[in-house]
Amino acid sequence: MKTKNSDNYTKWQKSFERETKIDLNEASSETDEGIKIKPVYTKADIENLSFVDNDSLPGQLPYTRGPKASMYTNRPWTIRQYAGFSTAEESNDFYKKNLKSGQKGLSVAFDLPTHRGYDSDDDLVMGDVGKAGVAIDTVEDMKILFNDIPLDQMSVSMTMNGAVLPVLSSFIVAGEEQNVNKNLLSGTIQNDILKEFMVRNTYIYPPDPSMKIVADIIEFTSKEMPKFNSISISGYHMQEAGADNVLELAYTLADGMEYVRAALSKGLDIDDFAPRLSFFFAIGTDFFMEIAKLRAARTLWYKIMKDFGAKNEKSLILRTHCQTSGVSLTEKDPYNNIIRTSYEALSAILGGTQSLHTNSFDEAIALPTDESARIARNTQLILQNETGVTNTVDPLAGSYFIESLTDELSKKAWEVIEEIESLGGMTKAVKAGVPKLKIEESATKKQAKVDSGSRVVVGVNKFKNPKEPKVDVRVIDNNRVRDDQIKKINDVKASRDQKAVDESLAKLVTAAKEDSNLLARSIDAIKNRATVGEVSKALEQVYGRHFATSLSVSGVYGKHFEGDEDFMNVTKKVNIFEEENGRRPRVLVVKMGQDGHDRGAKIVATSFADMGFDVDMGPLFQSPKDVAKDAIENDVHAIGVSTLAAGHKTLVPELMKSLKEIDPKSKIIVFVGGVIPEQDYNFLYENNISAIFGPGSNIIESAEKVIDLISDKIHEHN
Amino acid sequence: MQLVEKIIKGERAAIAKAITLVESSRENDKNESRKLISELLNKPGKSIRVGFSGPPGVGKSTFIESFGRYLVEKNYKLGILAIDPSSQITGGSILGDKTRMIEISKNPNTFIRSTPSRGSLGGISVGTREASIILDAAGYDFIFIETVGVGQSETMATNLVDIFSLIVGPGSGDELQGIKKGITEYADIFIVNKNDGDLKSEASKTASDYKSAISYYKKSDDTADKEVLLVSAIEQTGMKKVIETIQNIVSQNKKNKNFDERRAKQFTYWIEEEVREIIQFNIQKKIRADGSISQLSQKVMDGKIQMFEAIEAITQNLQNK
Ligand code: B12
Ligand SMILES: Nc1nc2c(ncn2[C@@H]2O[C@H](COP(=O)(O)OP(=O)(O)OP(=O)(O)O)[C@@H](O)[C@H]2O)c(=O)[nH]1
Ligand SMILES: [Mg+2]
């Protein structure tokens, strides 16, 4: 038998090498994770696996094949689309329409002010109200959000981390006032603060008190809300920020371990809360890798929980939500995105996800329209109803390739988990900034691959559409939303019992100082009609607000382009510029408002520096006024505004105004990068913006354009 | 000169442009820069220049943010020059210090400028001295200069500042043995940062290590005593003591004339350096002017003449001119 196999293999190898004219040893391709993918896999590849057990079945340990025995054959995955925009009224309308059209669960996207614990009337959030999610200021908004949606029947997922206390409290009180007791509420609160410090950037307090809040919520829900997932431990945002699958998998599970420890430190028994821990992963374009990742995640979590001493079977099983990758979707030739999303969705299903969000094709342009959201939802309805994928559990089990990949991914992730553990766990690692930097490094490498063309993105760096289609865009008038919200806040404030509010907020502060459970206290405050901002500010008095210090990668982008002609062309221009002007071109890259998307800004900054620019990096959450001061004091040639959360129409004109206020003769040119619908281009040009770099911009070309614009400006004045 | 007036009025854009001028590597700018600085020297302000050095990551920027917040609350005006070390092979750099100075950078009473270090004086950038003169004329009470590294304490102290402070982290006391002499000589204040949380006991230990180290230092004159201070930049503790110490040292050194003497020495050194630079530049220009140097070196390469002959020919030629 053995000899026959090896004879066959030798024969195959000969044929392969004859067909390809490539030595088999050289024929592997390497993934972003550094995993070698061979042209063929055989039985030999699954003979000595470390983590995977070839004999196990679905619903059996180590749960590689799925958390349940029957999986989709019994009930398909939950179609759960993430959505929210503008006011609670409008989002409620949108939800109800979607539920009628076949969506099964709700998933609420809050706007950035809510995420960061500011009320809509706060000056700091002028450009952000209702723009990238729904604005919730008081429990009254929350009640409107679920108007005519019975909370004892609908499972609701809420992406909320920073302002988790007031928002979860509002949800609980909204339920109560619908006559639904909290023990009947089902759904999930994201409540995963560690990845906020790493990549998502909607933190409010420093890491230690933030971890306490997470633990308080796990404690409270494990006792009072048996049907509610206390946390959604999320790798999704890491991959979207640029992490490869090993990093995403390892950091997510390491986060999970840290939360388990935090909950244990409250004196809880592991089996009291572990069954309510849930997960969230991204599904990108690497089809088989993503399938392997979900299988590996379950396999590793089983091992981790076993080591923690969990006994209840439910504690050992990883259940997950998935979302297709937004960052894989392009602004250019956007209908291609429907196809990308379909493959990613299939990958998630073959990996055995419990629920799924599929992105809309206008992802890189703006929030979805009714139409694009319909197509995204139908992607899943078609999979469920037309393709037969629900008929067999874990259909790829036994595939030499999939099993071997699952095991290899597990091994690699395990090494990274051990590395984090040796640093003292994820909270410590996060404080040191290690994971964030690793993810940024990975993101920079990916960008270099696309910019150099070694990774093809159809419609972006190859096979471009000569006739770009025009697509409709959802437009949100944030000034109107803000006015509406302010009016509602004022109404609430006028009719509430102020003394009761003050007292309950004071009790919350005391609880924070005394280290007792904060969720119970914040429910009282919210019931008394304290606002989301007031609750957040009360805790800020005790904990302070966290400001991230950010490190930068250096040399990663440049290394990819050693000897590259276009790259050298820019560095040459920079050197000539320096000779002529006595200094290098100097660019300030900024993020304004509450927009926490920093992947693009960080990549552009490090790449420009690699090409020889001096790049000033502003912190997150700057106001236009701060940026103007910073730019003028450092006498930069240009400001590059990176804006993805749709605040540009408010914030960019403010910046132009502030620059002129400090220096009426300012010659600083301003350009804008990020997610800008084409419909807004003219508006920006009319505000004297020199250039716009949308999603998919090649950074080397952008750098060349920037240095040319700067030179032109200097010559224009000489 | 209009620029001078604007600087003295404290116009932000003018100050910034002037700093660009003094940092410029362009030959024309150098002359203009010298003229500007000469004029500004006639209109001195009242600022105290304090240097903050220390190894990467000890919290220099965070300390300046924290200490700066404390000072602006007391209505002091702060000029901050952050020399960022992150220069790279390609010559570009990412200037990220301001991500650690978030609060003070918003304050109208601060002026914060980052500069890539790029060679020269081991970490102190070209133009730092001139930039501090500009900020002085513009009316800032304190000028803080942040640089990396302990190795530059000498240049920093002897060239640039009235008070030189070294920021160190908990646990760095062990390294003292090797570098004792240099730092005890040049630093006026030792700031042990990160005196918080788990690090507290380690920080105190480090502080006493430094205290015993400076006790070896024999003062030759009546300069102010060196001080070791414990702070936490993150928790903003120990700040009052830092400002008191700075003020004490200043007033004591002013009383016994050390303050002015130090500035005078720096001045002499500076002029010397400028002269050296100009001479060097002129000579280089002359040497390269007629192209004979490349012809001569070609001859050396071809083995037609000896190297010393080439050198002699060039120096002869220079002297004859
Ligand atoms: C990645 C991503 C995330 C990550 C961000 C990780 C991080 N640390 O950056 C995660 C998952 C955390 C995230 C979260 C959210 N996101 Co998001 N996200 C994206 C996504 C998919 C890709 C953005 C990206 O990083 N692309 C890769 C980088 C390299 O590209 P880039 O930033 O566009 O930069 C390129 C160019 O634009 C240009 N450029 C950009 N900046 C600059 C600057 C200069 C100087 C220059 C020269 C060039 C330049 O050059 C770069 C290279 O090509 C976009 C959709 C999309 N496909 O664009 C949505 C998107 C931006 N997100 C969106 C939303 C709503 C959110 C949330 C607010 C959702 C919510 N309600 O909770 C949260 C909150 C995040 C926050 N704190 O602000 C919306 C914004 C809606 C809008 N604009 O109308 C988008 C458009 C998706 C959508 N259609 O709904 N997101
Ligand atoms: N525990 C503690 N950490 C601090 C303190 N001050 C700074 N840090 C941390 O130390 C790290 C480095 O701080 P920076 O202020 O950037 O240090 P730096 O010396 O300016 O660094 P470079 O400019 O890169 O040389 C950051 O993670 C800070 O949060 C402090 O007082 N206590
Ligand atoms: Mg620093």
Coil vs helix vs strand at A483 = helix
Q: Which helix (H) or strand (E) holds A78?
A: strand A78-83
- Could you read off the pLDDT of B3-14 as tens digits, one per residue? 999 999 999 999
B107 touches chain A (CB under 8 A): no
What band does B182 get if pLDDT is binned at 50, 70 and 90? low
Residue of A555, A581, A666 lying closest to B26 (CB–CB): A581
Q: List residues near ligand 1 (CB under 6 A).
A: A 109-110, 112, 132-133, 159, 199-202, 237, 240-241, 326-327, 329, 363-364, 366-367, 447, 589, 595-601, 603-604, 640, 642, 644-646, 673-675, 693-697, 699, 702
Ligand 1, residues A644, A652, A670, A699: which to mutate, most atoms within 8 A of Cβ? A644
Coil vs helix vs strand at A674 = strand
What band does A423 get if pLDDT is binned at 50, 70 and 90? very high
Closest CA to A297 of A273, A274, A275, A321: A321
The whole-number average pLDDT for the span B262-273 is 89
Q: Are A545 and A575 in contact (CB under 8 A)?
A: no
The residue annotated as part of the active site, out of A68, A131, A597, A637, is A597
Count other C-beta atoms under 10 Å from residue A531's C-beta: 28
For A416-430, A564-578, B204-218, which range has the lowest pLDDT when averaged over its residues? B204-218
Backbone angles phi, psi at A462, to 5 degrees: -160, 155
Residue A56 CA, chain-centre distance (Å), reads 33
The reply to whether residue A583 touches residue B93, judged by beta carbons under 8 angstroms, is: no
Q: In chain B, what percentage of residues exceed pLDDT 70?
A: 87
Structure tokens belonging to residue A248: 């995403």
Q: Is the pLDDT of residue B83 over 80?
A: yes
Q: Are B152 and B122 in contact (CB under 8 A)?
A: yes
d(CA A304, CA A620): 35
Cβ of B125 closer than 6 Å to ligand 2, yes or no, is no
Query: What is the residue with the minimal CA distance to atom 25 of ligand 1?
Result: A599
DSSP state of A110: B
**Strand ranges in chain B using DSSP code E only, listed in sequence order:** 48-54, 78-84, 93-95, 110-116, 142-148, 163-168, 189-192, 227-230
Cβ of B92 closer than 6 Å to ligand 2, yes or no, is no
Backbone angles phi, psi at B51, to 5 degrees: -95, 140
Residue of A547, A623, A633 lying closest to B113 (CB–CB): A633
Smallest-distance ligand from the CA of A367: 1
Q: How far is the CA of A241 from the centre of ligand 1 (A)?
A: 9
- Could you read off the pLDDT of A274-305 as tens digits, one per residue? 999 999 999 999 999 999 999 999 999 999 99
The reply to whether residue A547 touches residue B62, judged by beta carbons under 8 angstroms, is: no
Alpha-carbon distance B135 to nearest alpha carbon in chain A (angstroms): 12
Alpha-carbon distance B245 to nearest alpha carbon in chain A (angstroms): 28
Smallest-distance ligand from the CA of A671: 1
Q: Are A294 and A249 in contact (CB under 8 A)?
A: no
B-chain residues near A666 (CB < 8 A) = 13
Work out which ligand 1 atom sits closest to the CA atom of A643. 41
Q: Is the pLDDT of residue B123 over 60?
A: no
Alpha-carbon distance A207 to nearest alpha carbon in chain B (angstroms): 13
Q: How far is the CA of B55 from the centre of ligand 3 (A)?
A: 10
pLDDT value of residue B122: 44
Neighbours of ion ligand 3 (CB under 5 A): B 60-61, 97
Residues 6+ positions from A423 with CB-CB distance below 8 Å: A429, A432, A434
Cβ of B66 closer than 6 Å to ligand 2, yes or no, is no
The reply to whether residue B114 touches residue A547, judged by beta carbons under 8 angstroms, is: no
Stated length of chain B: 321
Residue of B19, B62, B98 lying closest to A635 (CB–CB): B19
The whole-number average pLDDT for the span A229-255 is 98
d(CA A270, CA A313): 12
pLDDT value of residue B154: 65
Q: In DSSP terms, which residues pair with B79 in a beta bridge? A: B111, B143
Residues 6+ positions from A145 with CB-CB distance below 8 Å: A88, A91, A92, A95, A108, A134, A136, A174
* Residue to test with chain B: of A542, A583, A662, A706, most B Cβ within 10 A: A583
Q: How far is the CA of A384 from the centre of ligand 2 (A)?
A: 52
The whole-number average pLDDT for the span A18-34 is 96
What band does B150 get if pLDDT is binned at 50, 70 and 90? low
Q: In DSSP terms, which residues pair with B20 in a beta bridge? A: none
Average pLDDT, chain A: 96
B218 touches chain A (CB under 8 A): no
B16 touches chain A (CB under 8 A): yes
- Could you read off the pLDDT of A689-709 as tens digits, one per residue? 999 999 999 999 999 999 999
Angle at A585 between CA A583 and CA A588, to 5 degrees: 120
DSSP state of A200: I
Amino acid, single-letter form, for residue A620: L
User: Is A321 known to be catalytic?
Assistant: no
Kindly indicate whether the ipTM for this predicted assembly is greater than 0.90, answering yes or no: yes
| Omega within 30 of 0 (cis) for the link into B85 | no
Residue of A552, A611, A632 lying closest to B96 (CB–CB): A552
pLDDT value of residue B121: 45
Residue B46 CA, chain-centre distance (Å), reads 18
Of the two residues B191 and B273, the one the predictor is more confident about is: B191
Backbone angles phi, psi at B147, to 5 degrees: -135, 160
Amino acid, single-letter form, for residue A230: S
Q: Is the pLDDT of residue A1 over 50?
A: no
Residue A326 CA, chain-centre distance (Å), reads 9
Q: Which helix (H) or strand (E) holds A109?
A: strand A105-109
Ligand 2, residues B60, B62, B94: which to mutate, most atoms within 8 A of Cβ? B62
Query: What is the residue with the minimal CA distance to atom 28 of ligand 2?
Result: B59
Query: What is the secondary structure of A552-579 as a DSSP string?
Result: ---SHHHHHTTT-HHHHHHHHHHHHHHH
Q: Is the pLDDT of residue B179 over 70?
A: no
pLDDT value of residue B90: 72
The reply to whether residue A613 touches residue B92, judged by beta carbons under 8 angstroms, is: yes
The reply to whether residue B114 touches residue A583, judged by beta carbons under 8 angstroms, is: no
Residue of A574, A583, A612 lying closest to B25 (CB–CB): A583
Q: Are A321 and A294 in contact (CB under 8 A)?
A: no
B-chain residues near A580 (CB < 8 A) = 26
Amino acid, single-letter form, for residue B289: A
**Strand ranges in A230-293 using DSSP code E only, listed in sequence order:** 231-234, 277-283
Residue A211 CA, chain-centre distance (Å), reads 19
Sheet holding A586-590, edge to edge: A691-693, A669-674, A638-643, A586-590, A614-617, B93-95
DSSP state of B216: T
Residues of A with CB under 8 A from a CB of B: 547-552, 554-555, 558, 571, 574-575, 578, 580-584, 605-606, 608-619, 623, 625-626, 629-630, 632-635, 662-663, 665-666
Q: Is the pLDDT of residue B86 over 80?
A: no
The whole-number average pLDDT for the span A116-123 is 97
Closest CA to A572 of A712, A714, A709, A708: A708
B-chain residues near A615 (CB < 8 A) = 92-95
DSSP state of A584: -
Q: Are B313 and B296 in contact (CB under 8 A)?
A: yes
Give the count of Cβ contacts less than 8 A between chain A and B: 114
pLDDT value of residue A40: 97
- Could you read off the pLDDT of A44-72 as tens digits, one per residue? 999 999 999 999 999 999 999 999 999 99
pLDDT value of residue A252: 98
d(CA A630, CA B106): 8
d(CA A345, CA A343): 5
Angle at A654 between CA A651 and CA A659, to 5 degrees: 125
